[in-house]
Protein backbone atom coordinates (compact mmCIF):
# COMPACT_ATOMS: atom_id res chain seq x y z
CA UNK A 1 0.00 0.00 0.00
CA UNK A 2 1.19 3.50 -0.75
CA UNK A 3 1.39 6.14 1.97
CA UNK A 4 -1.36 8.27 0.39
CA UNK A 5 -3.74 5.29 0.26
CA UNK A 6 -2.85 4.43 3.84
CA UNK A 7 -3.68 7.96 4.97
CA UNK A 8 -6.94 7.90 3.02
CA UNK A 9 -7.91 4.57 4.61
CA UNK A 10 -7.04 5.96 8.04
CA UNK A 11 -9.30 8.99 7.49
CA UNK A 12 -12.14 6.67 6.45
CA UNK A 13 -11.62 4.57 9.58
CA UNK A 14 -11.48 7.55 11.93
CA UNK A 15 -14.58 9.12 10.35
CA UNK A 16 -16.47 5.85 10.62
CA UNK A 17 -16.13 5.74 14.39
CA UNK A 18 -16.04 9.46 15.24
CA UNK A 19 -19.50 10.93 14.66
CA UNK A 20 -18.52 14.44 15.74
CA UNK A 21 -15.59 14.70 13.31
CA UNK A 22 -15.65 17.14 10.39
CA UNK A 23 -13.24 17.68 7.51
CA UNK A 24 -13.03 21.00 5.71
CA UNK A 25 -10.94 21.85 2.70
CA UNK A 26 -10.82 23.19 -0.81
CA UNK A 27 -11.90 20.74 -3.52
CA UNK A 28 -12.07 17.85 -1.06
CA UNK A 29 -15.46 16.60 -2.29
CA UNK A 30 -15.84 13.67 -4.66
CA UNK A 31 -15.24 13.01 -7.45
CA UNK A 32 -12.17 15.23 -7.11
CA UNK A 33 -11.26 14.06 -3.61
CA UNK A 34 -8.64 16.71 -2.91
CA UNK A 35 -5.67 17.87 -4.97
CA UNK A 36 -3.69 14.81 -3.83
CA UNK A 37 -6.72 12.48 -3.54
CA UNK A 38 -6.19 11.98 0.17
CA UNK A 39 -9.86 12.69 0.92
CA UNK A 40 -11.20 10.54 -1.92
CA UNK A 41 -14.48 8.84 -1.05
CA UNK A 42 -14.97 10.66 2.23
CA UNK A 43 -17.58 13.19 1.12
CA UNK A 44 -19.66 10.41 -0.42
CA UNK A 45 -19.55 8.26 2.69
CA UNK A 46 -19.90 11.08 5.20
CA UNK A 47 -22.03 13.80 3.62
CA UNK A 48 -22.53 16.83 5.80
CA UNK A 49 -19.33 16.20 7.70
CA UNK A 50 -16.86 16.43 4.81
CA UNK A 51 -17.29 19.89 3.40
CA UNK A 52 -15.72 21.38 0.33
CA UNK A 53 -15.07 25.06 0.97
CA UNK A 54 -14.36 28.32 -0.77
CA UNK A 55 -10.70 29.29 -1.16
CA UNK A 56 -10.52 30.69 2.37
CA UNK A 57 -7.74 29.16 4.44
CA UNK A 58 -8.18 31.66 7.25
CA UNK A 59 -11.93 31.10 7.53
CA UNK A 60 -11.92 27.33 7.25
CA UNK A 61 -9.29 27.09 9.96
CA UNK A 62 -11.42 29.42 12.07
CA UNK A 63 -14.52 27.35 11.35
CA UNK A 64 -12.62 24.27 12.53
CA UNK A 65 -11.71 26.17 15.70
CA UNK A 66 -15.38 27.07 16.18
CA UNK A 67 -16.34 23.41 15.82
CA UNK A 68 -13.63 22.46 18.30
CA UNK A 69 -14.88 25.09 20.74
CA UNK A 70 -18.33 23.51 20.46
CA UNK A 71 -16.93 20.11 21.43
CA UNK A 72 -16.64 18.67 17.92
CA UNK A 73 -13.45 17.53 16.22
CA UNK A 74 -12.24 18.94 12.94
CA UNK A 75 -9.61 18.30 10.31
CA UNK A 76 -8.65 21.04 7.87
CA UNK A 77 -6.95 20.17 4.61
CA UNK A 78 -4.77 23.00 3.36
CA UNK A 79 -4.35 22.23 -0.33
CA UNK A 80 -0.68 23.17 -0.40
CA UNK A 81 0.89 23.62 3.02
CA UNK A 82 2.34 26.95 1.89
CA UNK A 83 -1.18 28.39 2.12
CA UNK A 84 -1.26 27.72 5.85
CA UNK A 85 0.40 31.11 6.07
CA UNK A 86 -3.06 32.51 5.25
CA UNK A 87 -4.45 30.64 8.25
CA UNK A 88 -1.60 31.51 10.59
CA UNK A 89 -3.63 33.94 12.70
CA UNK A 90 -6.26 31.33 13.44
CA UNK A 91 -3.57 28.79 14.40
CA UNK A 92 -1.25 31.10 16.34
CA UNK A 93 -3.62 33.61 17.89
CA UNK A 94 -6.82 31.69 18.27
CA UNK A 95 -6.80 27.89 18.22
CA UNK A 96 -3.59 27.33 20.17
CA UNK A 97 -4.05 30.26 22.57
CA UNK A 98 -7.63 29.29 23.36
CA UNK A 99 -6.33 26.16 25.10
CA UNK A 100 -5.07 28.27 28.00
CA UNK A 101 -5.69 31.98 27.60
CA UNK A 102 -9.08 31.87 29.25
CA UNK A 103 -7.54 30.78 32.53
CA UNK A 104 -8.81 27.20 32.46
CA UNK A 105 -8.04 24.53 29.94
CA UNK A 106 -10.27 24.58 26.86
CA UNK A 107 -9.93 21.42 24.75
CA UNK A 108 -9.37 22.23 21.07
CA UNK A 109 -9.49 19.03 19.05
CA UNK A 110 -8.41 19.96 15.56
CA UNK A 111 -5.80 19.03 13.00
CA UNK A 112 -4.53 21.17 10.16
CA UNK A 113 -3.15 18.93 7.41
CA UNK A 114 -0.44 20.52 5.30
CA UNK A 115 1.02 18.84 2.22
CA UNK A 116 4.54 20.24 2.05
CA UNK A 117 7.88 19.86 0.36
CA UNK A 118 9.44 20.12 -3.07
CA UNK A 119 10.76 17.72 -5.65
CA UNK A 120 7.73 18.01 -7.87
CA UNK A 121 8.39 21.31 -9.62
CA UNK A 122 5.52 23.25 -8.10
CA UNK A 123 7.71 26.31 -7.55
CA UNK A 124 8.41 28.81 -4.78
CA UNK A 125 4.89 29.15 -3.31
CA UNK A 126 3.89 25.47 -3.50
CA UNK A 127 7.00 23.62 -2.36
CA UNK A 128 8.03 24.85 1.05
CA UNK A 129 8.41 22.89 4.24
CA UNK A 130 6.74 25.16 6.77
CA UNK A 131 7.48 23.19 9.92
CA UNK A 132 9.97 25.73 11.26
CA UNK A 133 7.44 28.53 11.07
CA UNK A 134 5.16 26.70 13.52
CA UNK A 135 7.80 25.50 16.00
CA UNK A 136 7.54 26.87 19.51
CA UNK A 137 3.90 27.92 19.67
CA UNK A 138 2.46 27.07 23.10
CA UNK A 139 -0.22 24.34 22.89
CA UNK A 140 0.42 23.61 19.23
CA UNK A 141 1.76 20.16 18.43
CA UNK A 142 3.47 19.42 15.14
CA UNK A 143 3.41 15.97 13.59
CA UNK A 144 4.77 14.68 10.32
CA UNK A 145 3.40 11.94 8.11
CA UNK A 146 5.75 8.98 8.02
CA UNK A 147 5.90 5.83 5.93
CA UNK A 148 6.42 3.81 9.11
CA UNK A 149 3.78 5.03 11.52
CA UNK A 150 0.19 3.89 11.53
CA UNK A 151 -1.78 6.87 10.24
CA UNK A 152 -4.94 5.92 12.06
CA UNK A 153 -3.13 5.81 15.40
CA UNK A 154 -1.44 9.14 14.67
CA UNK A 155 -4.77 10.77 13.72
CA UNK A 156 -6.32 9.38 16.90
CA UNK A 157 -3.47 10.76 18.97
CA UNK A 158 -3.78 14.22 17.43
CA UNK A 159 -7.55 14.34 17.75
CA UNK A 160 -7.51 13.32 21.40
CA UNK A 161 -4.72 15.61 22.63
CA UNK A 162 -7.13 18.46 23.32
CA UNK A 163 -4.70 20.83 21.65
CA UNK A 164 -4.60 21.79 18.00
CA UNK A 165 -2.12 19.97 15.81
CA UNK A 166 -0.54 20.49 12.43
CA UNK A 167 0.21 17.38 10.38
CA UNK A 168 2.90 18.00 7.78
CA UNK A 169 2.73 15.60 4.86
CA UNK A 170 5.66 15.50 2.47
CA UNK A 171 3.99 15.27 -0.93
CA UNK A 172 6.64 12.90 -2.25
CA UNK A 173 5.49 10.34 0.31
CA UNK A 174 1.99 9.92 -1.08
CA UNK A 175 3.16 7.60 -3.87
CA UNK A 176 5.83 5.83 -1.83
CA UNK A 177 5.26 2.39 -0.28
CA UNK A 178 4.17 2.44 3.35
CA UNK A 179 5.82 0.49 6.14
CA UNK A 180 8.88 -0.91 4.37
CA UNK A 181 12.59 -0.73 5.15
CA UNK A 182 14.46 -2.74 2.54
CA UNK A 183 17.06 -5.33 3.59
CA UNK A 184 19.61 -5.36 5.07
CA UNK A 185 17.87 -2.76 7.22
CA UNK A 186 15.35 -3.71 9.89
CA UNK A 187 12.39 -1.62 11.00
CA UNK A 188 10.93 -1.25 14.46
CA UNK A 189 8.34 1.21 15.65
CA UNK A 190 8.08 1.92 19.33
CA UNK A 191 6.09 4.71 20.89
CA UNK A 192 6.22 7.64 18.53
CA UNK A 193 9.60 6.77 17.04
CA UNK A 194 10.35 4.52 14.07
CA UNK A 195 13.83 3.01 13.93
CA UNK A 196 15.63 1.75 10.82
CA UNK A 197 18.80 -0.08 11.78
CA UNK A 198 21.39 -2.80 11.27
CA UNK A 199 22.62 -5.25 13.89
CA UNK A 200 25.31 -3.88 16.17
CA UNK A 201 26.17 -0.38 17.31
CA UNK A 202 25.97 2.19 14.50
CA UNK A 203 28.63 4.73 13.57
CA UNK A 204 26.04 7.50 13.68
CA UNK A 205 22.38 8.28 14.20
CA UNK A 206 20.21 10.21 11.77
CA UNK A 207 17.11 11.91 13.12
CA UNK A 208 14.74 12.82 10.33
CA UNK A 209 10.99 13.29 9.91
CA UNK A 210 9.00 10.97 7.68
CA UNK A 211 9.34 12.92 4.47
CA UNK A 212 13.09 12.37 4.53
CA UNK A 213 12.93 8.66 5.33
CA UNK A 214 13.46 7.31 1.83
CA UNK A 215 16.24 9.78 1.07
CA UNK A 216 17.92 8.95 4.37
CA UNK A 217 17.61 5.20 3.77
CA UNK A 218 19.14 5.56 0.30
CA UNK A 219 22.05 7.48 1.84
CA UNK A 220 22.41 4.83 4.54
CA UNK A 221 22.65 2.16 1.87
CA UNK A 222 25.29 3.98 -0.21
CA UNK A 223 27.28 4.88 2.93
CA UNK A 224 27.26 1.22 3.94
CA UNK A 225 28.30 -0.06 0.51
CA UNK A 226 30.82 2.64 -0.36
CA UNK A 227 32.21 3.70 3.02
CA UNK A 228 31.27 0.90 5.41
CA UNK A 229 29.56 3.49 7.58
CA UNK A 230 26.59 2.15 9.50
CA UNK A 231 23.71 4.44 10.45
CA UNK A 232 20.56 4.17 12.50
CA UNK A 233 17.64 6.28 11.30
CA UNK A 234 15.13 7.59 13.86
CA UNK A 235 11.85 8.96 12.53
CA UNK A 236 9.73 10.76 15.15
CA UNK A 237 6.02 11.09 14.56
CA UNK A 238 5.74 14.25 16.64
CA UNK A 239 8.19 17.01 15.82
CA UNK A 240 7.12 19.51 18.47
CA UNK A 241 7.10 19.41 21.41
CA UNK A 242 10.01 17.07 20.73
CA UNK A 243 10.40 14.15 23.14
CA UNK A 244 14.17 13.89 23.32
CA UNK A 245 13.97 11.22 26.03
CA UNK A 246 12.22 8.88 23.58
CA UNK A 247 15.56 8.58 21.74
CA UNK A 248 17.54 7.51 24.80
CA UNK A 249 17.72 3.86 23.72
CA UNK A 250 19.69 4.93 20.63
CA UNK A 251 21.63 7.80 22.15
CA UNK A 252 24.15 8.91 23.01
CA UNK A 253 26.14 8.09 19.94
CA UNK A 254 29.19 10.16 19.04
CA UNK A 255 27.78 11.51 15.80
CA UNK A 256 24.21 12.68 15.39
CA UNK A 257 22.68 14.22 12.27
CA UNK A 258 19.34 15.97 12.09
CA UNK A 259 18.02 15.99 8.55
CA UNK A 260 15.07 18.01 7.27
CA UNK A 261 13.94 19.56 4.03
CA UNK A 262 13.38 22.99 5.52
CA UNK A 263 15.44 25.78 4.02
CA UNK A 264 18.25 26.95 6.29
CA UNK A 265 17.75 29.41 9.14
CA UNK A 266 15.83 28.96 12.38
CA UNK A 267 14.96 25.35 11.66
CA UNK A 268 13.30 22.51 13.55
CA UNK A 269 16.65 20.73 13.45
CA UNK A 270 18.24 23.55 15.42
CA UNK A 271 15.66 23.02 18.15
CA UNK A 272 16.36 19.28 18.21
CA UNK A 273 20.12 19.89 18.28
CA UNK A 274 19.66 22.25 21.21
CA UNK A 275 17.73 19.59 23.15
CA UNK A 276 20.32 16.91 22.32
CA UNK A 277 23.19 19.15 23.36
CA UNK A 278 21.56 19.81 26.70
CA UNK A 279 20.94 16.14 27.34
CA UNK A 280 23.99 14.42 25.83
CA UNK A 281 26.66 17.07 25.30
CA UNK A 282 29.34 15.39 27.36
CA UNK A 283 29.12 12.17 25.34
CA UNK A 284 28.89 13.56 21.82
CA UNK A 285 31.99 13.76 19.61
CA UNK A 286 30.98 17.23 18.46
CA UNK A 287 27.99 19.41 17.78
CA UNK A 288 24.96 17.75 16.24
CA UNK A 289 25.19 18.23 12.48
CA UNK A 290 22.25 19.91 10.81
CA UNK A 291 21.40 18.91 7.27
CA UNK A 292 18.78 21.02 5.56
CA UNK A 293 18.01 22.66 2.24
CA UNK A 294 19.81 25.80 1.15
CA UNK A 295 18.71 29.10 2.68
CA UNK A 296 16.87 29.95 -0.51
CA UNK A 297 13.50 30.12 -2.16
CA UNK A 298 12.65 26.91 -3.96
CA UNK A 299 12.98 27.25 -7.74
CA UNK A 300 10.69 25.56 -10.23
CA UNK A 301 13.08 24.13 -12.83
CA UNK A 302 14.12 20.60 -11.89
CA UNK A 303 17.87 21.20 -12.12
CA UNK A 304 17.63 24.36 -9.98
CA UNK A 305 15.31 22.73 -7.45
CA UNK A 306 17.79 19.87 -7.03
CA UNK A 307 20.50 22.36 -6.11
CA UNK A 308 18.44 23.78 -3.25
CA UNK A 309 16.70 20.78 -1.67
CA UNK A 310 18.13 18.09 0.56
CA UNK A 311 18.47 14.81 -1.28
CA UNK A 312 20.24 11.49 -0.82
CA UNK A 313 23.60 12.91 -1.88
CA UNK A 314 23.36 15.86 0.54
CA UNK A 315 22.85 13.45 3.42
CA UNK A 316 25.56 11.07 2.18
CA UNK A 317 28.07 13.89 1.81
CA UNK A 318 27.35 15.43 5.22
CA UNK A 319 27.81 12.11 7.00
CA UNK A 320 30.91 11.06 5.05
CA UNK A 321 32.60 14.41 5.60
CA UNK A 322 31.83 14.41 9.31
CA UNK A 323 32.94 10.83 9.92
CA UNK A 324 35.81 10.57 7.43
CA UNK A 325 36.96 14.18 7.39
Residues in the site for another protein, rule: CB under 8 A?
22, 48, 51, 53-54, 56, 58-72, 74, 89-90, 93-94, 97-98, 100-106
Closer CB to another protein, residue 22 or residue 197? 22
Closer CB to another protein, residue 61 or residue 322? 61
Give the shortest CB-164-to-another protein separation in angstroms.
Answer: 13
Give the shortest CB-271-to-another protein separation in angstroms.
Answer: 19
Residue 36: closest CA among 109, 135, 145: 145
Give the shortest CB-86-to-another protein separation in angstroms.
Answer: 9
Closer CB to another protein, residue 104 or residue 324? 104
Name beta bridge partners: 291: 259
309: left (phi over 0), alpha (psi -120 to 50) or beta: beta
HSE (side-chain half, CA atoms, 13 Å) at 254? 8
Closer CB to another protein, residue 44 or residue 93? 93
Closer CB to another protein, residue 68 or residue 251? 68
Closer CB to another protein, residue 42 or residue 205? 42
**Sign of the alpha-carbon torsion through 100, 106, 109, 112:** negative
Residue 203: closest CA among 325, 321, 287, 323: 323
Give the shortest CB-21-to-another protein separation in angstroms.
Answer: 12
Give the shortest CB-107-to-another protein separation in angstroms.
Answer: 13
- Cα separation, 214 vs 50, in Å, equals 32
Closer CB to another protein, residue 101 or residue 302? 101
**Sign of the alpha-carbon torsion through 205, 211, 214, 215:** negative
Closer CB to another protein, residue 88 or residue 153? 88
Question: ω before 184 within 30° of 0 (cis)?
Answer: yes
DSSP code of residue 147: S
Residue 11: closest CA among 152, 110, 141, 157: 152
Give the shortest CB-100-to-another protein separation in angstroms.
Answer: 7
Residues in contact with 102: Cβ distance below 8 Å, sequence separation at least 6, in sequence order: none
Give the shortest CB-70-to-another protein separation in angstroms.
Answer: 4
Give the shortest CB-197-to-another protein separation in angstroms.
Answer: 36
- Cα separation, 187 vs 147, in Å, equals 11
Task: Please list the alpha-helical segments (H only) found in 171-295.
Answer: 213-227, 268-280
Name beta bridge partners: 56: none
Amino acid sequence: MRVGEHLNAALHAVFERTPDLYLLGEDVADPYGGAFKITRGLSTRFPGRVLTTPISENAITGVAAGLALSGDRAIVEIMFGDFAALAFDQVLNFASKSVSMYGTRVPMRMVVRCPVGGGRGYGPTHSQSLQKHFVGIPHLSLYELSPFHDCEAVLDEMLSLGEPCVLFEDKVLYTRPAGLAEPPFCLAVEGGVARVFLDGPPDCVIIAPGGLAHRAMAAMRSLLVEEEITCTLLVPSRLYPFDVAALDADLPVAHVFVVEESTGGGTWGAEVAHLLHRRHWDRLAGPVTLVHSAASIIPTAAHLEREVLVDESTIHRAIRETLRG
